[in-house]
C-alpha cells in the first residue's frame, strides 16, 4: 500500500473492484505489481437482501464495504458505472447503491475510478458485448482461479482488472488513468 508520500510500503498496488447492486454488490480485490502482473486477493458478493427495507440494504452495503476496506487496505478503487435499465425504479435503486458504495470509499480517502460495463467487457474479454459467462471465464483464467465464480464477484474482479490495465497503459504513456481512458 502507498504511504501517501510517494514511497511504497509494499511493491504492489491493491485495487478494490466494485460491481454495485441493490440486492448484491460484488467486491473483488487484486494486487498489481510494477510489471503489471495481477494476483487475486479476495472476492465475494455482499448480500444486501434480508434487510428490513431499502435504506437498511444501503446500510449493509456501507458497513460491508467499510469492513472490507479496513481488512484488506486497498490503495485504489474501481467501480462500474450505472447503465440505463428498462425499469426506472431498478435504475434508481442501482444508482443509490452505487452512490452508497462511492460514499463508503471516499470517506476513507481512496481514489475512485469509474468504468462503463462495455469498457470492462472490452478490457477483459475483448468485446464490449460479451456475456456474463464469458467475463466469469476470462476472469478465472486471468487470475488463475478454479471453479465457477459467482457473477457479481466476477464482475467486481473484472472492474479491478480493467483498472489495472488502464493504470499500466497510463504509466507507459506518462498520463493519468482518467486521461488514458477518456481518449477512447
CA-closest candidate to residue 183, choices 42, 159, 173? 173
How many contiguous H segments (helices) and E segments (strands) does the chain have? 6, 5
Give the active site residue among 19, 31, 76, 155.
19
Q: Is 89 a catalytic residue?
A: no
Q: The cell 470492462 sits on which residue? A: 120
What's the distance, CA 118 to chain centroid? 14
- Cβ contacts of residue 76 below 8 Å, gap of 6+? 13, 14, 15, 16, 110, 111, 113, 163, 167
Q: Is 109 a catalytic residue?
A: no
Q: Map residue 96 onto helix, strand or coil.
A: helix
Q: Is 155 a catalytic residue?
A: no
Give the active site residue among 31, 80, 119, 155.
80
Give the active site residue among 31, 76, 152, 155.
152
Indicate which residues carry an active-site annotation.
19, 80, 152
Amino acid at each position: 500500500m502507498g504511504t501517501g508520500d510517494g514511497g511504497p510500503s509494499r511493491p504492489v498496488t491493491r485495487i478494490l473492484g466494485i460491481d454495485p447492486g441493490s440486492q448484491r454488490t460484488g467486491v473483488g480485490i487484486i494486487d498489481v505489481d510494477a510489471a503489471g502482473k495481477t494476483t487475486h486477493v479476495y472476492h465475494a458478493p455482499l448480500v444486501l437482501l434480508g434487510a428490513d427495507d431499502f435504506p437498511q440494504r444501503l446500510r449493509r452495503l456501507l458497513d460491508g464495504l467499510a469492513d472490507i476496506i479496513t481488512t484488506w487496505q486497498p490503495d485504489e478503487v474501481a467501480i462500474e458505472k450505472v447503465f440505463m435499465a428498462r425499469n426506472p425504479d431498478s435504475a434508481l435503486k442501482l444508482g443509490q447503491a452505487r452512490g452508497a458504495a462511492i460514499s463508503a470509499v471516499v470517506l476513507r480517502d481512496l481514489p475512485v475510478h469509474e468504468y462503463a460495463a462495455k469498457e470492462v467487457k472490452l478490457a477483459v474479454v475483448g468485446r464490449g458485448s460479451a456475456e456474463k459467462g464469458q467475463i466469469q471465464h476470462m476472469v478465472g483464467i486471468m487470475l488463475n482461479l478454479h471453479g465457477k465464480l459467482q457473477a457479481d464477484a466476477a464482475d467486481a474482479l473484472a472492474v479491478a482488472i480493467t483498472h489495472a490495465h488502464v493504470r499500466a497503459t497510463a504509466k507507459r504513456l506518462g498520463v493519468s488513468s482518467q486521461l488514458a481512458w477518456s481518449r477512447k
